[in-house]
Structure 1
C-alpha cells in the first residue's frame, strides 16, 4: 500500500514541478489563450523541491516493488495482479518524473532559446 501511495505522490510531484512549463505549451498547441495561466509561474521556484520529493517517493516505490523480495504467505491471484499494477504505476510515475525533469531543457532546445 505504501508503494502505491509513493508512486502516486511521485506522479503528483512531477505534475506540480512541470506545471509552469507543460500546461502553457499544451494550451498553445490546442489553440487556447495562455494569458490566464500566469498563476502557474508561482510554482516555478519550488520546482526542484517537487522534483526531489518525486524522486524520493518513486525511489522508495521502486525499491519496494522491484528490489525487495515480497513476504507472501500464499500466491494468490489477487496479490499477483496488485503487484503487477503497483510495478506499472511505479514505472509510469518514473516516466512522468523524467519528462517533467527534462521538459524545460528540451523545450529550450526546440525553440532555440
Structure 2
C-alpha cells in the first residue's frame, strides 16, 4: 500500500486497516509520487489500484484477485526491517491461505 504523505489521514488509516485485515505479507509506506487526485494506491506484480477515497469492496476485490502473485514467496519475520514501525500480524495463516477473511464491515471513520 502506498499513500501520499499529504493524503487525508482518515482515508489513509481506513486503507491501512483494510490491508492489515486482509493479509499478513504487506508493506505500507508513504510515496511522494502519487498524484493529489489519487493519493492512495495498492500495488502488486503487474497491477495497481489508485484511489482518491477508500472503497472497501474494491480494495478487498483487488487484494483477493491480485495479491501473492509475485515471485517472492517468503514470510520470514525480519526480512525487511529498514524503518519498520510495527510487525505485521498473521490474519488467516502465515502464508495468507485466506485473503481478507473477514467481511468488509469496517467503520471508515
Q: Which of the two has greater helix per residue?
A: 1
In the superposition, the TM-score normalised over structure 2's length comes to 0.24
| Bigger radius of gyration | 1
Q: Which of the two has greater strand per residue?
A: 2
In the superposition, the TM-score normalised over structure 1's length comes to 0.23
